[in-house]
Amino acid sequence: MMNVRQAVLGVLMTFAMTGPALAADIVTGTPAGPLVMNSDMTIDLPPDGVLRYTTITINGGTLRFRKNSLNTPVYLLATGDVYIAGSIDVSGNSGSATAGGEGGPGGYNGGHPTYGGLPAGAGHGPGGGAPGDASGGSTNMGGAAFGTTPTTSRPANGTVYGTPLLVPLVGGSGGGGSNVIGRSGGGGGGGAILIASNTKIDHRGAIHANGAYGNVDCSLNYSNHGSGGGVRLVAPVVTGGGYVYIRGSDCQNAGVGRIRIDTLNRAALNLNYHPWPAVQPVTSIGSFMMVFPENLPVLDIVEVAGTAVTPGQSAIINLPFGAPASQPVRVRATNFTAPVSYVVVLSPEAGPRTVYGPFTIDSSAGPAEQTVTVDIPANNTTRVDVWTQ
């Protein structure tokens, strides 16, 4: 199982702003020098996912990223100009007959298919699809959601999450696995990327943050695809007529992702968003000129079944046979200014997800912790998440 960072989702936040930040304040830190790319390149993401350069010039080829252990989003930052004529790709990967597809960086994995007599698993992420069979009807495998739900309405589909600001920055969710032997695991969700410059972003190429197929053949009409991911651009000037893709796979049977453009000068902004017009409700343009907002509300799992979890890391547990099913989960809330409602979600490799709650925690007077009790299946690798409501 991939480690995936915990994210605070579904919270609309208001940030105090006295006016647009100065250009030099958008990207801080010490840059590594210029990034110049003329052909395909894959970059290893550092532990925090942040890549800093003086300038970024992508003349051709496709830029991809190897995920880090926390599966953070990609932060591609430049103190000078960003020029994109080639492609940047943080899309998810397709499922197979033996595994769910991996999400792109910052995105979530698809659910495992049935194997060894065990049932299929649900897609990961707050909009993950439920497992099911591979035919039509109410038991069909679920497609993932993010900015929208899948175009085909099914009870097994995921639900919408996230914020128009893309703060926090998150990716797409995974589709549900198939309970039909030999059919595929769910498609991985599209990843998440933020590109920022202190001066200008000139985008003439393509940015891909697509969800992946549950199966590579759209004609089979499977519905367990990953949802599109998240793309945010931040610069005083954003120009060009490039493309931004946040599709829920090419089969379009999953929700699309989210796009956010923050700029002070829109005079030459002529980007093409795909899919269209379905993407209209989840694309917004504003002037929130911050890459890393301070005092961001955070909800973390810090302990599961007596085992400490490093804040920011996902909680993955496999209880041995004979262990009590009832286990404690300790949750920590930080920087919420009012009581917040949350759920604890268990996503086992085999079987549907289970949701506990909602619970309420109050961190308005400082960081607060709370312990809740859940039932964790034995000998079944299970991911434990905590999400705001």
Handedness of CA 66, 69, 73, 79 (dihedral sign): negative
pLDDT of residue 253: 72
- Whether the ω angle into residue 339 lies within 30 degrees of 0, i.e. cis, is no
| For residue 236, pLDDT beyond 80 | yes
Mean pLDDT for the chain overall: 88
- pLDDT tens string 137-166: 444 678 899 999 887 777 888 999 999 999
- Whether the ω angle into residue 293 lies within 30 degrees of 0, i.e. cis, is no
- pLDDT tens string 20-51: 444 458 999 999 999 999 999 999 999 999 99
User: How much of the chain exceeds pLDDT 90, in percent?
Assistant: 73
> Does residue 157 contact residue 129 with C-beta atoms inside 8 Å?
yes
- pLDDT tens string 110-145: 999 988 888 999 999 999 999 987 554 444 678 899
**Sequence-ordered list of residues with C-beta below 8 angstroms from that of 253, at least 6 positions apart, any chain:** 143, 150, 151, 152, 221, 222, 223, 225
pLDDT of residue 80: 97
Q: CA–CA separation, 77 vs 27, rounded Å?
A: 6
> Does residue 196 contact residue 264 with C-beta atoms inside 8 Å?
no
Question: For the whole model, what pTM was predicted?
Answer: 0.91
Between 9 and 313, residue with greater pLDDT: 313
Local confidence band at 277 (pLDDT 50, 70, 90 cut-offs):
low
Helix (H, G, I), strand (E, B) or coil at 24: helix
The CA angle 57-77-310, to the nearest 5 degrees, is 140
The kind and range of the H/E element at 272 are: strand 272-274
> Does residue 203 contact residue 238 with C-beta atoms inside 8 Å?
yes
pLDDT of residue 77: 98
pLDDT of residue 142: 83
